[in-house]
Amino acid sequence: MSLDATARESNVRDSLLKFFVENLKLTEKIELSFDKSLASPRLQGTEVDRWVMIDFGLLDRGTLSEHYVDLYCCTRKDPQGFRLAQLGDTVMGYLTDSTQTDGIKRIAFYRSKETGTWDLLGALLVTDVKESKETEAPDGTKFKVLSVTLKWAAIV
pLDDT in tens, 53-84: 999 999 999 999 999 999 999 999 999 999 99
Indicate whether 144 pLDDT > 90: yes
Distance CA(152)–CA(130), nearest Å, equals 19
pLDDT in tens, 10-19: 999 999 999 9
pLDDT number for residue 47 = 77
Overall pTM > 0.85:
yes
Domain count, the chain: 1
For residue 149, what is the domain's CATH number? 3.30.2000.20
Distance CA(150)–CA(20), nearest Å, equals 14
Look at residues 139, 34, 50, 127 and name the one whose alpha carbon lies nearest to residue 90: 50
| Residue 127 structural domain | 5-153
Distance CA(48)–CA(45), nearest Å, equals 10
